[in-house]
Amino acid sequence: MTKTRTNQEWLYDLVAGGTLQDDAIADLRELLLRAALYFFSRNLDDFQGADPEGIHQRAEDCAQDALIAVMNHLQDFRGDSKFTTWAYKFAINVALVAVRQERWKGISLDALEFSEGKNLFERMMQGTSEEPTPERSALQTEVQRVLQEVIQRELTDKQRQVLVWMVFYEVPLDEVVRHLRSNRNAVYKLLHDARRKLKMGLEQHGFDVGETLSLFGPSR
């Protein structure tokens, strides 16, 4: 049974050494495992019929990764919330990445094309719950034109691919790295350069990036 601890007791026990530390780490790992399993239970469709044992093993892996992350960031805990609440978020974030990886397993990224901007702008409009005003609609159309032009003409093939995959389809970074047979730093740079070109393209046409994003949020 997991021992109840205060924030200070968690911080002390996790670095105390000996049996005290071992027990605290075991209790923390159990908490993180429960968090991962709960998140997985809410996203079972993404596991495409995987057996319960396989899903549980995936949760075990997530709990271990989250445990390492928590231990590496103990000095960052400021006590603004319960320690367990703070640690729980690490497990959820790791589980979220795992679910996204499962979602894209077996899917060909090469099939996810820009398609003349159709997929991009449909996704941008998903958060809009009301019919836009004529002026807002006109601005949206103009921004779409500018973005489409920049994406098609200014970005390299690799920059376009990474932008579409990671931003518009939310493909996990590791999946993009694997598909391109590259590394994290190289993919990050491709994404950074693509975003920079989009920002420059919008600014050159007189659009502020913040105001542009608000055009595709809920109508007011």
**Looking at residue 147, what is its pLDDT?**
83
Structure confidence at residue 219 as a pLDDT band (50, 70, 90): very low
- What does the alpha-carbon distance between residue 145 and residue 150 come to, in Å, rounded to a whole number? 9
For residues 214-219, average pLDDT: 50
Q: What is the pLDDT of residues 123-177, one digit of tens each?
A: 555 544 456 677 777 877 888 888 888 888 899 989 988 988 888 777 888 888 8
Class of domain 7-104: mainly alpha
- What does the alpha-carbon distance between residue 59 and residue 30 come to, in Å, rounded to a whole number? 11
Listed as own residue / partner, the contacts of 36-43 with beta carbons closer than 8 Å and 24 or more positions apart are 36/62, 36/63, 36/66, 36/91, 36/92, 36/94, 36/95, 36/98, 39/91, 39/92, 39/95, 39/96, 39/99, 40/95, 40/98, 40/99, 43/99
Is 50 exceeded by the pLDDT of residue 92? yes
Q: In the chain, what are the domain boundaries? A: 7-104, 109-214
State the fold for domain 109-214: Arc Repressor Mutant, subunit A (1.10.10)
Q: Which residues of 149-182 are buried (b: 16+ CB within 10 A; e: fewer)?
A: ebbeeebeebbbbbbbbbebeebbbebbbebbee
Region of 103 (left: φ > 0; alpha: ψ -120 to 50; beta: rest) is alpha
Mean pLDDT of the chain: 83
Closest by CA position to 159, among listed 212, 200, 213: 200
- What does the alpha-carbon distance between residue 154 and residue 198 come to, in Å, rounded to a whole number? 9
Q: How distant, in Å, are the alpha carbons of 50, 56, 60, 76, 98 from that of 53?
A: 8, 5, 10, 34, 16
Q: Which two tokens stand for residue 120?
A: 């991009």
